[in-house]
Amino acid sequence: MLLKDKVVIVSGVGPGMGQALARIAASEGASVILAARNKAFLDEVAADIVAKGGKAIAVPCDVSDEAQCKALADRAGSEFGGRVDGLVNSAYYHGNWSFVENADTEDFAKTFDVNCLGALRLSRACVPYLRDGGAVVNVSTMATVNPYGTEHGMEMSYAVAKGALNTLGKYMASDLGRFGIRVNTCRMGWIHGDPVEGFIQSQVDAGFKRDDVVAGITKNIPIGKIPPEDDCARAVLMMVSDYSRVVSGAALDVNGGQWMAP
């Protein structure tokens, strides 16, 4: 098992890749601490993991709140023997789609606070438990390096905040290495799960054919399909595992080849 006997915190456990990260981490042998604001959803996912023989607890946490981040880290440490082997920072707030002329700076600030400072708050709270072999993975987006937009606006505030997270990850790796902690980033592309299915259905409801919508998404993805959320989650969790124990400060592109770093 990829994560046998490891203790892993996953923030941002929602209907998308967050729940996939939690479920797969548990199936790979980890004791998982699920964190997000929606307690009912957390309890549902945790109960499902336990029913299937896994180990999981749900701890509601808003990463914009320093005290809640510390409480989450302390609960994880006390519940599973005083250590945390992996932290996956996948909590996010997407922010508005906009163009430069109508960009809302308050929305930019909120997006930055959750996506970048939220990861900093939670990582900082977990440092005492991550020492001597722990790993942090920051979940980012390829929109930080490949600007994306539609006729309704650009994915600007989200990408800018995640771009800051990319840089934060490098500084964290440089700093926390002295404690034996690795830090890496995964830049995600399209992820085929409930949120993308919702987008596809919205386009179908607007009169487009499903096959045409999917073809429009996949035309620039060399593997020829929207990367499934479970496979994307496995790529992220590989960076937590011992297979990556000499990798730190890296950015792994998880997008089916849609963006290839030069």
Percent of the chain past pLDDT 90, that is, above it, reads 87
- Answer yes or no: are the C-beta atoms of 206 and 27 closer than 8 Å: no
pLDDT one-digit tens code per residue, 22-65: 999 999 999 999 999 999 999 999 999 999 999 999 999 999 99
The more confident residue out of 148 and 252 is 252
- Strands ordered across the beta sheet of 55-60: 55-60, 31-36, 7-11, 86-89, 135-141, 182-188, 251-254
Q: Which of 92, 129, 158, 243 is catalytic?
A: 158
Q: Which two tokens stand for residue 165?
A: 């997270």
Instruction: Average the pLDDT over each of 55-59, 91-95, 225-229 and give the range with the smallest value.
Output: 91-95
- pLDDT at position 202 is 87
- pLDDT at position 58 is 98
Q: Which one, of 46, 113, 126, lies nearest residue 87 by Cα? A: 126
Amino acid at 89: N
Active site residue 158: yes
- pLDDT at position 1 is 86
Rounded distance between C-alpha atoms, residue 191 and residue 193, angstroms: 6
Percent of the chain past pLDDT 70, that is, above it, reads 100
- Answer yes or no: are the C-beta atoms of 75 and 59 closer than 8 Å: yes
Q: Domains of the chain (ranges plus CATH)?
A: 7-191+227-245 (3.40.50.720)
| DSSP per position, 148-176 | -EETTEESHHHHHHHHHHHHHHHHHHHHH
Q: Decide if pLDDT at 151 tops 80.
A: no
Chain-wide mean pLDDT for the chain? 95
Half-sphere exposure of 37 (CA within 13 A, CB side): 9
- pLDDT at position 262 is 80
Rounded distance between C-alpha atoms, residue 27 and residue 1, angstroms: 8
For the ranges 147-151, 169-173, 214-218, the maximum mean pLDDT occurs at 169-173
- Answer yes or no: are the C-beta atoms of 32 and 25 closer than 8 Å: yes
User: Quick one: pLDDT band at residue 261, thresholds 50, 70, 90?
Assistant: confident
User: Quick one: pLDDT band at residue 148, thresholds 50, 70, 90?
Assistant: confident
| Mean pLDDT calculated for residue range 95-115 | 94
Residue 87 CA, chain-centre distance (Å), reads 10
The more confident residue out of 246 and 199 is 246
User: Quick one: pLDDT band at residue 66, thresholds 50, 70, 90?
Assistant: very high
pLDDT one-digit tens code per residue, 155-213: 899 999 999 999 999 999 999 999 999 999 999 999 998 888 988 998 899 899 999 99
Rounded distance between C-alpha atoms, residue 29 and residue 216, angstroms: 38
Provide CB contacts within 8 A for 108, sequence distance 6+. Answer: 95, 157, 160, 161
Rounded distance between C-alpha atoms, residue 50 and residue 52, angstroms: 5
